[in-house]
Amino acid sequence: MNGHAFDLAGAALVARASGALWWGAQRLLVVSDLHFGKAERLARRGGALLPPYDTQATLARLDAEIDALDPAEVICLGDSFDDLEAADLPVAEALWLARLMAGRAWVWVEGNHDPGPLALAGAHIAALQRGPLRFRHIASAGATAGEVSGHYHPKARLGGASRPCFLIDRARAILPAFGAYTGGLMCTDPALTALMAPGALAVLTGQRALAIPMPG
């Protein structure tokens, strides 16, 4: 499996090269910050015009992970949609998402872009406890061991290029953004260095997962 295996609060997890998190014992797939509809939202609000293929590209990446792993449950860690209006997907994309959701449990964790229940199947919840792990959108400063979150879109630089990355320490894992048109926050930013303990790892995504000491 193309990923970095690690233990968090007794759960054996894999930070996959795709940016998804896999908990094999539970057949649980976790993704964060899909930001479906970002190009549409920017155009609707008079912002920069981006090619309107971000939702399709993100769905294709998610489809590949689901095809490879066949999870029993998928947790989306918030900011799945770029705003609440973006949750009204075009018919073809809505049908694609419905096919991915079929036959498995699906949890939408609320984010700051998409707070509150959406008119979609699945469970809609602010945070979720599953065994020793707690899934939420934004990391909490005083988290006990086992917190899994997203929100910050962390990136790390290696060889002159920055790549989305997981940040992992003994207490928490922060996932990279899974969406196609998402920016990122360098892991050297004080907002992230304040959250992560000494000795934290950055697991870079891309063609293969690469674990390095988190740059400080």
pLDDT in tens, 147-177: 999 999 999 998 888 999 999 999 999 999 9
pLDDT at 48 over 80: no
Q: Give the pLDDT mean for 100-114.
A: 89
Candidate from 39-53, 96-110, 191-205 with smallest mean pLDDT: 39-53
Domain ranges of the chain: 3-125+132-213
- Under a CB-based contact definition with an 8 Å cutoff, are residues 28 and 130 in contact? yes
- What's the pLDDT at 49? 43
Percent of residues, the chain, with pLDDT higher than 70: 87
pLDDT at 12 over 70: yes
Percent of residues, the chain, with pLDDT higher than 90: 68
- What's the pLDDT at 44? 47
- What's the pLDDT at 160? 81
Compute φ and ψ for 23, nearest 5 degrees.
Answer: -115, 95
Q: CATH assignment of 3-125+132-213, given 3.60.21, 3.30.70, 3.40.220, 3.40.50?
A: 3.60.21
CA dihedral 133, 76, 97, 26 (to 10 degrees): -10
- Under a CB-based contact definition with an 8 Å cutoff, are residues 2 and 64 in contact? no
Distance CA 69, CA 1 (A): 10
pLDDT at 210 over 60: yes
Distance CA 158, CA 200 (A): 16
Per-residue pLDDT tens over the stretch 124-139: 999 999 999 999 999 9
